[in-house]
Amino acid sequence: MTSEEAKNKIESLREEINRHNHNYYILHSPVISDKEFDFLLKDLENLEKEFPEFHDDLSPTQRVGSDLTKGFEHVIHQRPMMSLSNSYSIEEVDEWFERVSKLLDGENFNVVGELKFDGTSISITYVNGRLVRAVTRGDGTQGDDVTANVKTIRSIPLQLLPGSWPDEFEIRGEILMPWEVFEKLNAERAYNEEPLFANPRNAASGTLKLQDPRIVANRHLDARFYYLLSDNLPFDNHYDNMEAVRSWGFKVSKNMQLLHSLEEVDEFINYWEKERRTLPVATDGLVFKLNSLRQQMNIGYTAKSPRWAIAFKFNPERACTRLKYVSFETGRMGIVTPVANLEPVLLSGTIVKRASLHNDDIIQELDIHQGDYLYVEKGGEIIPKITGVDKDRREVGAAKIEFVKECPECGTPLTRIFGEAAWCCPNHYGCRPQITGKIEHFCGRRMMNIDGIGEETAELLFDAGMVENISDLYSLTAERLSTLERIGEKSASRIMSGIEASKEVPFERVIYALSIPNVGETTAKRLAKAVKSMDDMRLMNVEELQSIQDIGPVIGQGIYDFLRDPINISIIDKLQVAGLQMSLSEDQMHPAGDSLNGKTIVISGTFHHHSRDEYKNLIESYGGKNAGSISKKTSFVLAGDNMGPSKYEKCQSLGIPIINEDEFLKMLDTE
């Protein structure tokens, strides 16, 4: 490599690493794995050593990462929080063990093996048995004072149990979000239309940096502690100190183990590479520490990390399991999706049996054959994905997986969507999953909100010949419904009440419920506001439809074609006769007021006085505009309970006001 090539490569790596540092520490949203990041950093370190003329004090290699955040008091660590050297193989740990042995000049030593919990680092100071300060790792030299938030974590003692604890000490650990809490939080964020957290570590880190301890308390964070520091420690070794810490009321992993030989170290690694999957909290590796504090002090530190400890990082969690078969599933809009059906495998705390293969291009790219052993990972530790094939285990003569040429449900020849990788069944009105999918969509909460009709009931109604399209719902009776298996009198009554109430659902939700191609919730609102009524929309030509905001040629043509299909014409006519709202209401035609004119408002959280949809309607009726994400253009955020942390943080950084329900309703001069 020439000097000029090295310079360009070094600059490119620095820019890339700085970007990933920002994603990780500030946005709490990494886009690459820790292992990939470490390899990038190692590449940069090697290049900088080979070409020292390009040394830069501000290179990412010259500092540790920082999670310092505006809005918190920065506190200097009394003792720096150094990072550990990382290893990714047993061989590297063995080499570390041998180095320690040489540095100790043959002296006997023990090693403590611990789980490396995947959370956010914390250092807590106790004085006279009472918690006085909690500080994040920050850049290792200083961190953020998050004492108020840490006090809300119930597994962290505010007052120690009786014991021989030092008058003053510092204890370090990890703030964690258990898998169960993480999954509930992401379900709530999905409901609030907020981006999902990639993994429990990011969720814990984001939560700990919230400005409102009440929200932190609702997140049910946990903690594990792994190191005690003081001028007056109770024991001269790490293991006994941590056992003492446990007796004082701290959570210390019961899986901490005293290891006496290299063989025991290797056994510890081999055991936890498998068993970590059964833990209730996320782990990303193991840590090995020299047990004797005297020996730790004698071995000392490098510029960045202690010589007496090393971290062993697990490879990104993935499993290899056998492909049972590939199923092809037709969706509501006719798109056929291939799905890998797998021998069940435990991955990141859950059993994985299925993973989408997305489209034909991916099947061809991976070169999947019948009975192959597939590598499965969890994208962002949430969604299972197929990442490769173990071709060494492929059976001789195994047939290649071929994408179906006909719809697996109705047998209609598939067509390729122009410019896309998807294949589609064009039999939109005679294909069972498309029909039942449209019925289920029509009845959904954000559409017509007909309680009691989900996927199974939609299929049941179709198979019984009672509902062949969405307009048939309005011909149902409680008596007919109650004759069906699994639908009793109460269920039938609930469904009929929902059907009757759906006649009052606003026009924009009716448009959304019709399953017009490419018309989602936001587009449906734009359409309703622009066209005013279904009759007027049906009279529009393609050019008129395309002139509406955010409706381009593809969507405009799709709406035009949909409204001229004879079957759709019949369905819409029947829905009009049934009494559905086919035009904007008088209130929508004539705004209730103008107090929100020119204001862009974001809604977040759950509310008491009105639903989220009702608040969205209120905003529009008073001249305001709803937005899904916060930007400099946002006027304020209407916040309920459990406001999303990412939105809260963005409000803080941009100085955007946050108002509650009562304040908002006063702005409207209504109740």
pLDDT for the residue numbered 380: 45
| Active site annotation includes 391 | no
- pLDDT means per 10 residues, the chain with 671 residues, are 86 84 59 74 87 82 58 85 87 95 93 94 94 90 90 90 93 92 79 66 84 81 95 95 95 95 95 84 91 95 89 82 95 92 82 88 91 81 79 93 95 84 91 95 92 92 95 94 87 94 95 92 87 94 87 89 96 96 82 83 85 82 82 90 73 88 81 42
| Residue located via tokens 């399953």 | 515
* Own/partner pairs, 252-256, CB within 8 angstroms, 24+ separation: 252/224, 252/225, 252/226, 253/114, 253/115, 253/117, 253/224, 253/226, 255/114, 255/115, 256/112, 256/113, 256/114, 256/115
pLDDT for the residue numbered 63: 54
Nearest to 603 by CA among 650, 662, 661: 661
pLDDT for the residue numbered 671: 42
Q: Which CATH superfamily is domain 3-62 in?
A: Helix hairpin bin (1.10.287.610)
Q: Which tokens in the block code for residue 6? A: 């090295």
pLDDT for the residue numbered 554: 85
CATH number of 593-668: 3.40.50.10190
Q: Are 571 and 600 in contact (CB under 8 A)?
A: no
Q: Are 172 and 137 in contact (CB under 8 A)?
A: no
Query: 171-189 as b/e, with b when 16 or more CB fall inside 10 Å?
Result: bbbbbbbbbebbeebbeeb
CATH number of 74-313: 3.30.470.30
SS3 state of residue 324: strand
Name, in order, each residue with C-beta under 8 angstroms of 629's C-beta and a sequence gap of 6 or more: 602
DSSP 3-state percent helix, strand, coil across the chain (nearest 5): 40, 20, 40
CA distance 593 to 582: 23
For domain 318-402, say whether CATH 3.40.1390.10 is its number. Answer: no
Q: One of 49, 116, 254, 599 is an active-site residue; which one?
A: 116
Q: The domain 432-587 is classified under which CATH number: 1.10.150.20, 3.30.70.890, 1.20.272.10, 3.30.1550.10?
A: 1.10.150.20
pLDDT for the residue numbered 46: 87
pLDDT for the residue numbered 279: 83
Q: In the chain, what are the domain boundaries?
A: 3-62, 74-313, 318-402, 432-587, 593-668
Q: Nearest 5°: CA angle at 439, between 437 and 442?
A: 105
Q: Nearest 5°: CA angle at 335, between 341 and 471?
A: 115
Burial bucket for residue 201 (CB in 10 Å: 0-12, 13-18, 19+) = buried
**Calculated CA dihedral for residues 36, 41, 46, 49, nearest 10 degrees:** 180
CA distance 629 to 614: 18
pLDDT for the residue numbered 669: 64
Nearest to 584 by CA among 629, 531, 626, 650: 531
Strand partners, 116: 285
pLDDT for the residue numbered 486: 82
Q: Which helix (H) or strand (E) holds 489?
A: helix 489-501
CA dist 462 to 357, 429, 430, 458, Å?
A: 29, 12, 11, 6
Q: Which amino acid is at 295?
A: Q
CA distance 81 to 141: 7
